[in-house]
Structure 1
């Protein structure tokens, strides 16, 4: 058809986002061994020195390309398994055991680090600027009153990480993918942050994800930069109220792949022992983890769309993408429309009217099916 709208699938960016990216729980790297993490189109090597400080370098030795993640921690340095060149956390070669001196230009790619909320973050910038510590994610208060982090990771192939970011404004997918009714939904973008405020209840006709008629959520989720989101959740399940913090973060591994990581911690309810609190945290980790897997299924089967055709209930997709673009251009090219404050509230009235009718019809059909099943006599 001549007037049919065509999909513009575009092309993936030629660079990776500027900003702070999370590699995982800091303690997992403090075992005296080198660790490999895929990121920014290469492999990174992570290790702890004798003081417990975490260091991150490009994972390949600048001498002859040896894989430093297969080497060994020797003193404060990471030693290459190929020729034992030893690299310090400052990115300089500190020692070549068989050589009289170290070449003056023996330097490699170093990533500045920070530990926030028990997680290791690294700074990445294609322009090579020093780390901007003023835009680090916030350190969460009173974490000692919460359970230990339950941490999970899922590698996503065939999707650019913008697919994940689009969810910030996508009200309707919570109903169709995560089985929830968003009753209030609004967004605020400003500077390097993008926030989603939502209240929702579970669908009684679905199980899995957020699907439960007795589940109510009050959510505030903020991206601090391109890849690290803190989601504060007040959860009411059958009258039992719980404060949950969800960390949703990712690191790009290639032009159209990324490592999705998410962690859950639950404020320990008064009167409950640590074991019971940890059990509650594990159940919420399963619930939110299943939600991420529902998204993963969508991402693996969709195509990118640069020119989405939208209705007003779809939220400010284009404004969010302008906000996100600031991390993919040089700092000198960041425009005011990428960082100026922007607010938008989705009117959920029409959606909830339709969804209530649909759920009622589904429940009636389910009840009729159960009645038919019960009327069929069992085989002798």
Structure 2
């Protein structure tokens, strides 16, 4: 399938139109999306991605179609993992619930721009130096190893170098002014935390691109497929964030699944590099006759690993316990934080969820409940939320 400039142009216009639609019809007016709204629009975006894949399969053939679906599924899985980090960043900046959509859309737009630049840079490198496959493969193998490391839950991901520099160079306020990027304090124009959190999201997206782009280049070197699979995986990520709200912690084995997929693609890249080898110190600069992993096998492995990962996470008793306790902590913190939202209906929804989680904790087997290192702290937060709710009802 020879992709003409016209097809490129139509594809880019469609993607830009979807982003514009998202902004003008969904997030221009700050609101908290309902579960139904998030589910409907998530389904629409996934449906559009699948329809596009079928069109590619029909017009470009099974190989090209398989490459698109393998790339889309991989990038979508990596995007879900990114949502964990977005959650931490927005929690650390205490972004009001109704304004989180704008932050997420900015993150998606920035990610699309950054990854497009990485895609064309990566394609140029690969076309010029085939040994770049070795570099990409090693990057993915290192990333897979890092995913298996135990991470500190108290990591201040948002308080990075960019944020510290911004706070030092510019006047910043500690309070939000709706979803405005700038506000006035004592007659002086200052940055709001909304702009800083967008900078944090954007900086994090750059790091994600360093992992995700080599991953998809390990599945296909067709720039059009790389671009569209990446773009469609990002579209609908905002809705998915609210749809999976409270369920992200349930995927306790996601990092293992992603590590397996990235390691698999890393090996695939190294094998491909050996097959295309022209480095003089490897086999005298000649191609190395090695087994090459086909697109069909790649697609089966990716789908299989993700299926096992998700099922294992959902049936795990330890995972269920961790989910309930983490959600209880998050909802207790949200309820106690008076700046979390100005919507009283949302505060009552959060409190109702907290009560459901408290009942689940009470019926939980102690061995699973006590495995959580912050269980005592969570119980104290729940008790404080109870007291605050009683005080609120007395007013």
Establish whether TM, by shorter chain, passes 0.5. Answer: no
TM-score by length of structure 2 reads 0.24
Q: Which has the higher contact order (CA 8 A, sep 6+)?
A: 2
Which protein shows a greater Rg? 1
TM-score by length of structure 1 reads 0.25
- Identify the structure with the greater helix proportion: 2
